[in-house]
Amino acid sequence: MHIEISTFGYIGNSVIKQITLKNDNDVSVKITNYGGIITAIKAPDSADNIDNIVCGFDDLDTYLSEEYLGNYPYFGAIIGRNANRIKDGIAEIEGKIYQLAQNDGNNHLHGGNTGFDKRIWNYRIIEHEENIGLELSYLSLDFEENYPGNLQVFCLYTLNNKNELGIEFTAKTDRTTIVNLTNHTYFNLTGRKTNILSHELKLNSSGLTETDQNHIPTGKIIPIKNTPYDFSDFKLFDSTKDILPMGYDNNFIIKGERGILRYAGTLREINSGRVVEIHTTQPGLQVYTGYWIPEMCVAGQKLFGKYSGVALETQHFPDAIHQKHFPSTILKPDEKYYSKTVYTIGKKS
């Protein structure tokens, strides 16, 4: 296993780095300290052809371009302070109302106008006998995006020779605030040769949070057995295309005790033979099949577009601040936020 560090681009006087973690099985993960973005995950298929299996770019300028940000899909980024949506951008914390950015219609999405996905993170290389890694840290100041409290955040990416990509988040605050952190990587196990409708998903879930037309939870938990949302066994995304023409953008409730690392689901693609298995401590998994991913022209080539990747975002439930029976996203000064997700990257033999 080894680590490489290179210059990815510049923001003003800041030099943005890209760190590559590579194990002994030809699996590598590229991460930049701008937004903590996973720009690439390269892995072999069943014929040992190595491809990038996530949506991302080879240079920083494309991530900063108006074309990309104009219909922003958050490729590979750390999302915070609060992943997913908050109704009307309003959060009541200890009796005080905070008006957050309404950057998704009337609602607040993924931390606001300048969330953690657009911040420059400090970085530190981690090397152990059993794994290699990258620790990112960021101090989100009191009232950044109008969230209360100085929030110190750490994100630890690790890779080992079991092909396990670990993502661990830790956070502490000096004032009561809300925290819901995730990573927004989009997978395409064909190496982006085709869209993700050929992919199959299996989930350790029997229910999801019902939402309105704006993806805001109603508060109801909906059973999914024998519905198009039933992933108790592998289901091909293409099989529900006619029933759900805009695909999936839903928060599935993961079975088992939250806070304990447990099986959440498996994504696989038959033609490539690639498989990604997910374990998490989080209570939910947002499945988004990328209907709104923009088609872009990059270096004269048309790339991406709808269904070009599927995001599997482990997190707390959306709009939890307004649903007292949802797992709480409140973080107090005497508490520590912690979550861990492991994506195991494999292939059928």
Is 313 among the catalytic positions? yes
Q: 145, 200, 313, 316: which one is catalytic?
A: 313
322 is catalytic: no
* Cβ contacts of 165 within 8 Å, gap of 6 or more: 29, 41, 157, 158, 159, 342, 343, 344, 345
pTM more than 0.75: yes
Classify domain 2-347 by CATH number.
Answer: 2.70.98.10
Residue 349, pLDDT score: 63
Dump pLDDT digits (tens) for 186-215.
Answer: 999 999 999 999 999 999 999 999 999 999
Domains of the chain by residue range: 2-347
Query: Would you say residue 320 has pLDDT above 80?
Result: yes
Which entry of 108, 184, 215, 316 is annotated as an active-site residue? Answer: 184
pLDDT (tens digit, 9 = 90+) per residue, 146-182? Answer: 999 999 999 999 999 999 999 999 999 999 999 999 9
What is the distance between the alpha carbons of residues 286 and 284, in angstroms, rounded to a whole number?
7
Q: What six digits make up the tokens of 76?
A: 């590979």
How many angstroms separate the CA atoms of 333 and 177, rounded? 9
